[in-house]
Structure 1
Amino acid sequence: MDDPRFLRPKPLTAGSRVAALSLSSGFVTEVPHRYAAGVRQAAESLGWEIVPAPNALRGPDYLYANPQARADDLHWALQNPGIDGLVSIIGGDDSIRLLPYLDPDIIRAHPKAFMGYSDATVTLTQFLKAGVMVYHGPAVLTDLAENGGMHPYAVRGIQQAFGTESYDLSPAPEWTQARQDWEDEAAQNVRRPFEAGDGWTWLQEGTGEGHLLGGCVEILDMLSGTPGELPLEMWRGAIMALETSNDVPPPSQVGYWLRNWAAKGVLQGLSGLMLARPRDYTPEMTEQLYTWVRRVLKEAGREDLPVVANVDFGHTSPQLCLPLGAQVRLDSAAGTVTVWPG
C-alpha cells in the first residue's frame, strides 16, 4: 500500500550508525551533558550509534553565520557510506536559510532515513519533494535525551515507524509539558512529572486514507511561497498532520493558516487531518482551536473530512514518530489510525 511517489530508505535498527545534525540552532554546545545523554540513551534504548556531523558541534555563532556548512553536513551524511541515517539535534527558527544550498539530486541519489521535527520540517519537506520518505519524530536533545531515560512510548513509536508491519497508533498512556532546565546537569537523571493520558478527540467523523504529509504548522507557513513549499498536486489525497510549537500560536492564527491552505486548494484535496496535542494551550484555547478547525473546514466545504486531534506528536512528550510519505488510514468509527510504514 505504499505511495509509489516515495522511496523508503533503509530503516534504522539496532547497530545503525546515525549522524546528528545541527540544521538550525547550534544550541547543543550550551548543553553538552544533554547531548551526551541523548547519545547514550539512544544506544541503550534503540541500539543506535550517534555520531556528530563535521559542523554539528561548532556552536551557535558559527552555524548561524554559515548555513551552507549546515547543508554540507546533510550532504556529507547522505554520501558517507559509513552513515546509515540522520537525526536532528534540535530545532530553531532558520532552517529555511538552507534552501539555496540543499541539493535534491543528492537526496534522491542517496536516500537515507532522516528524523526530526519542529524547524526540521523545512528539511523533512525537501526530502518529500525529492520523493524520499522521512520521519517526523524525536530529536537528540528532546525525547532521545528525556530526563531519566527515553520513554517506552517514544521508543516503541520509533521502532514501529522503522518496522515493516502495519500498525495502529495508540494514545500515550501519560504525557508532560513540565519545564526542564537543560543546563542543570543534576536534573538530567530526574524523571519529569507526568499526567494521565487524555486520549484523542475526533472533531469530524469518517474514514480517509492517503499518504502522510505535514509537520510544524508555523514552519509550513514559513515555507509558503518559497521554492521549498510542497506543490499542490502532492497534497491531493494526502492525510495532513499538523503540530504547533512552543511559540504557542493563537488558535485564530492556526485558523488563518488553514484558510490559506483552503485558498490554495490544499484542504479541498485532502483525505484526512491529524492534529497534535497543542503545546502549552489552556483547555479554553484548545476548544477555540477546535472551533476554528471546524469553521474553516465548513467554509472549504470539507465537513466530510475525518479529523482526529490531540494526537501525541510534535511538541509534546513522549511523542510518536510519524513516517511521512507512508500510507495512513483514519477511521473514526473504529477509533483507529493505521500506518503502513513501508
Structure 2
Amino acid sequence: MLYPKALNIGDKIGFFSPSSPATVFAPNRFQRAKSFLEFKGFELVSGSLTGKSDNYRSGSIQARAEELNQLIRDPSVRCIMSTIGGSNSNALLPYIDYEALRNDPKIIIGYSDVTALLLGIYAQTGLITFYGPALVASFGEFPPLVDETFNAFMEILSCESNHHSYCMPQVWTDIKHNWEAQDSAKPTYQNEWKFLGKGTIKGRIIGGNLNTMAGIWGSQYMPEIQSGDILLIEDSLKGIETVERSFAHLLACGVFDKVGAVVLGKHELFDDKGTGRTPLDVLLEVLNSKVVPILCGFDSCHTHPMLVTPLGIQAEIDFDNLSFSLQERWVSAN
C-alpha cells in the first residue's frame, strides 16, 4: 500500500471539478469555502476548469482528466480535493497519471461521484484514498457544522497514527437550502448510530457512494470485494425503488456472502415514496434473514457534518461496545 504524507497547516490544497461545475453554479458558496480553508492557513490551488462550465459538466473528458493530472504532477500540492460530485467522474479513469501518483503519493479526497476516482486510484496504485469533504459542498456550509467537518478532516489527515475511534456528532442535517441564497446555519436533528450485530468485526474498509460504484463495477477500477471486508455504502437523493435495486445488485453479486460487516451511511433526503420505510428496512428485506452485521447512520456521507473514512485500511466495529475505529495507519509522517 502507498500512504500520502500527513497534511500540515500551510500546505497547498489543489481543487478540481471532475464532473459538475460547482464553481460556476454556486459561486458564492465556492468563494465562502475557499476563504474558509485559506483562513485556516492553507494555500488553495485552482484547477484549470475553475469558473468553466460545459452545461452538466465542467469540461470534456480529456479536459477534466488533464485538470486532475496537473494537480497530481505538481509536487507542491499535497492534497487534491474535489469541488463536488456529479455523475461522470468514472469517465476520467483511463486517463489518470497513476505513475505520477505512485512516485508522489498525495491525499486524494472527495465523496459522492468522486467514489469512482477514489476506488480507481486505490485499485490501480494501492494509494490510500479518503472518502470525505468536497470543497464547495462541504466547506461552503456555515458554522457550526462546517467547523465540525473541518475538525474531523484535520483529525484524520494531519497526523500519523495507527488508531482512531470515531465519535458520533451530536447533531446532523440533510435540510436542503438554495446554496446561493443561504445565509445562516441549517436546522439540525439529534443523531443516532445503530449497531445491529454482536461481537467484533475487523476488516478492510472499502466502498463509498453506492450508485457511483455501479459505474465501475466489474472493471479494473473497482477493487475486488474480499472476504471479511467492511463495506461502506451511502447514497443521496434517491427513491426507495432505486435503493432496493442497488442493494439487490450487491446481493446478486455475492457481496453479502463475503463482507464481514456493512457501514450504512445516512441517506440525504431519502424518498420513501409514501412507504414509511428507511434504507435500513430495505437492506434488511434484501438480506432476507442473511446475517450481516450493520452499523447504520454513519456520518461519512452527503449530510453535515461529515467524517473522513480512509479507504483500503483495516477497521474494527465493536458491536457490543458500540464503537467504530481505524486500526491501521492511513498517512505517513512528513
TM-score, normalised relative to structure 2: 0.89
Specify which of 224, 244, 260 is matched with residue 271 of structure 1: 260
Q: 2:285 corresponds to which residue?
A: 295
Separation in 1, partners of 2:18, 2:253: 29
Deviation at 1:175, TM superposition (A): 1.1
Separation in 1, partners of 2:45, 2:213: 29
Residue 173 (structure 1) aligned with residue 170 (structure 2): yes
- What is the DSSP-based 3-state SS (H/G/I as helix, E as strand, rest coil) of the residue aligned with 2:135? coil
Give per-residue Cα distances to partners, 1:87-144, cap 9 Å, x unaligned.
0001111112212322333332332101100111111111210211111111111221
The 1:146/1:286 distance shift into structure 2, 3 A limit, reads farther
Q: 1:19 corresponds to which residue?
A: 14
Separation in 2, partners of 1:310, 1:62: 30
Separation in 1, partners of 2:276, 2:147: 27
* Paired letter, 2:231: M
Separation in 1, partners of 2:201, 2:243: 22
* Structure 1 or 2: more helix by fraction: 1
Specify which of 218, 221, 225 is matched with residue 211 of structure 2: 218
* Paired letter, 1:220: M
Deviation at 1:34, TM superposition (A): 1.5
Residues 10, 113 of structure 1: 8 Å contact kept: yes
The 1:218/1:63 distance shift into structure 2, 3 A limit, reads closer
Cα-Cα RMSD:
2.3
Separation in 2, partners of 1:244, 1:85: 25
Separation in 2, partners of 1:62, 1:244: 20
Q: 2:197 corresponds to which residue?
A: 204
Deviation at 1:12, TM superposition (A): 1.9
Give per-residue Cα distances to partners, 1:43-81, cap 9 Å, x unaligned.
334x32222112233223495551111111211111111
- What is the DSSP-based 3-state SS (H/G/I as helix, E as strand, rest coil) of the residue aligned with 1:151? helix
- Structure 1: give runs of 5+ residues left out of the alignment: 1-5
- Structure 2: give runs of 5+ residues left out of the alignment: none
Separation in 2, partners of 1:218, 1:117: 12
Q: 2:243 corresponds to which residue?
A: 254
Q: 1:281 corresponds to which residue?
A: 270
Residues 53, 59 of structure 2: 8 Å contact kept: no
Residues 85, 112 of structure 1: 8 Å contact kept: yes
The 1:14/1:222 distance shift into structure 2, 3 A limit, reads same
Specify which of 94, 98, 122 is matched with residue 128 of structure 1: 122
Separation in 1, partners of 2:36, 2:254: 43
Q: 1:317 corresponds to which residue?
A: 304
Residue 95 (structure 1) aligned with residue 92 (structure 2): no
Q: 1:71 corresponds to which residue?
A: 65
The 1:196/1:261 distance shift into structure 2, 3 A limit, reads closer
